[in-house]
């Protein structure tokens, strides 16, 4: 299981310290939540902060764009060293073009789905996705309660992926903790984003190991 601690839950006054903790941990990825205040009712952080994180981080950077018109910024993320980049299904009119653009810039292309968006809508785009990010909370904030329906979506998506013989990864984001992590793993998740469960834990390094299962 790939673990992606979400920097949104880190202490922004001690960002380098928190990234170094992730560097020392068993986590494979670092999750970056980019919010524009339009697609989601919150603003997180932008390019200067991403570039500071990229300099300090020794893990794979996984950026989750919760923004409208993401195509405008894809190249910037590639230049900053982001390797996994996801855009929202609900924010892309020309999703096929957006994903090809991400791949052409040498990154892995992901599609993020809001909790209400059914996985069967990926039927005609799955081949263009290196990974699918299933939201298990409504995007915009950390520390929210896990929406149980996400487990069913993981299982249905896994079935679609296996039926077609694809290698598409399934990432789950929102409210993930040591209690639901084994359930998500059993349903077919490959990567788990964890913000508050990691950064608010008394021992974040041990919490990451617990999430890996
Ligand atoms: C929510 C973000 C998540 C968030 C997860 O909009 O996409 O990545 O940081 O935080 P937790 O794990 O606290 O739910
Ligand atoms: Zn996220």
Map out the domains of the chain as residue ranges: 2-212
Catalytic member of 18, 36, 62, 173: 173
Q: What pLDDT is recorded for position 161? A: 98
Q: Quote the pLDDT of residue 150.
A: 98
Three-state SS at 3? strand
Name the pTM for this structure. 0.98
Percent of the chain, pLDDT > 70?
100
Q: Is residue 27 a contact partner of residue 195, using CB atoms and an 8 Å limit?
A: no
Sign of the CA dihedral 166, 84, 146, 196?
positive
CATH 3.40.50.300 given to domain 2-212:
no
User: Is 173 part of the annotated catalytic residue set?
Assistant: yes
Q: Give residue for tokens 């919760």.
A: 66
Q: CB–CB of 67/46 below 8 Å? A: no
pLDDT for 132? 99
Q: Which residue has tokens 């910037």?
A: 76
Q: Which atom of ligand 1 is nearest to the CA of 112?
A: 7
- Stretch 105-114: mean pLDDT: 98
Residue pointed to by tokens 């964890």 = 194
Region 113-119 average pLDDT: 98
pLDDT single digits (tens) 23-72: 999 999 999 999 999 999 999 999 999 999 999 999 999 999 999 999 99
pLDDT for 210 equals 98
Residue ID of nearest Cα to ligand 1 atom 9: 142
pLDDT (0 to 100) of residue 130: 98
pLDDT in the model for residue 10: 98
- Residue 75 has a pLDDT of 98
Percent of the chain clearing pLDDT 90 (strictly above): 100
| Known catalytic residue at 124 | no
Torsions phi, psi of 67, nearest 5? -140, 155
Tell me what pLDDT residue 42 has.
98
Pocket test residue of 85, 114, 142 for ligand 1, highest count of atoms within 8 A of CB: 142
What pLDDT, on the 0 to 100 scale, is given for residue 193?
98
């Amino acid at each position: 299981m790939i673990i992606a601690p979400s920097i949104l839950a880190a202490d922004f006054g001690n960002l380098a310290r928190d990234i170094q903790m992730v560097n020392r941990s068993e986590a494979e990825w670092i999750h970056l939540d980019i919010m524009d205040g339009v697609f989601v009712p919150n603003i997180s952080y932008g390019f200067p902060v991403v570039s500071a994180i990229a300099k300090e981080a020794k893990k794979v950077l996984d950026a989750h764009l919760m923004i409208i018109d993401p195509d405008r910024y894809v190249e910037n993320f590639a230049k900053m060293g982001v390797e996994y980049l996801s855009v929202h299904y609900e924010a892309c009119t020309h999703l096929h073009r957006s994903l090809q653009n991400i791949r052409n810039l040498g990154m892995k292309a992901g599609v993020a789905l809001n909790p209400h968006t059914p996985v069967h809508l990926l039927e005609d785009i799955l081949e263009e996705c290196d990974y699918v990010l299933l939201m298990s909370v409504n995007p915009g904030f950390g520390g929210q309660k896990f929406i149980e329906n996400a487990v069913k979506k993981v299982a249905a998506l896994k079935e679609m992926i296996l039926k077609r013989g694809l290698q598409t990864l399934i990432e789950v984001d929102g409210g993930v903790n040591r209690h639901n992590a084994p359930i998500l793993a059993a349903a077919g998740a490959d990567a788990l984003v964890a913000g508050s469960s990691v950064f608010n834990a008394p021992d974040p390094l041990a919490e990451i190991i617990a999430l890996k299962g």
